[in-house]
Amino acid sequence: MPQILLVEPDTVLAKTYAASFQKSGHHMLRAQDAQSAINACDAVRPDCVVLEIQLPGHNGVEFLYELRSHADWQNIPVIILSQLAVDRIGLDEIKMTELGVKAFCYKPETSLITLQTMIDETLRAVKT
């Protein structure tokens, strides 16, 4: 069962995503902030990270840099799922690619089905 690390500060959204992920046969770990996400990666190497950029304390971009600073985590695919539009996150397309971001989803325009499809496609691409 694939391990998905959801880095999401909103408890209601996290519960909604968790129910969707479990229906699709994924196990979800949740972190509310960047430090909890790093601790989760230490405990169980996730197969994919779904990341909100707006986090308390260190933001999601800082988390991405920290994630990629560890040799064991450099190939973990990341899907950004953010309330911020892509032009407001502070990363251009080249930098997102360098940081292993496989997809960007703008929350107001992304359905659970679309998110799940992106996760499944990302996991399939990693296996090949």
pLDDT above 70 as % of the chain: 99
pTM for the full predicted model: 0.93
Q: Order across the sheet with 27-31: list the strands.
A: 27-31, 3-7, 48-51, 78-82, 101-106
CA atoms within 13 A on the CB side of 24: 22
Residue showing tokens 């909103």: 10
| pLDDT at 127 > cutoff 80 | no
CATH code of the domain containing 37: 3.40.50.2300
In tens, the pLDDT along 64-76 reads 999 999 999 999 9
Average pLDDT over residues 43-54: 95
Mean pLDDT, the chain, rounded, equals 92
C-alpha angle 57/116/101, rounded to 5°? 50
Strand blocks (E) in 1-128? 3-7, 27-31, 48-51, 78-82, 101-106
pLDDT tens, 85-117? 998 888 888 899 999 999 999 999 999 999 999
The token pair that represents 14 in the structure block = 């996290």
Residue position matching structure tokens 């997102």: 96
pLDDT of residue 90: 83
- The tally of domains found in the chain comes to 1
Containing structural domain, residue 44:
3-127
Average pLDDT over residues 24-29: 89
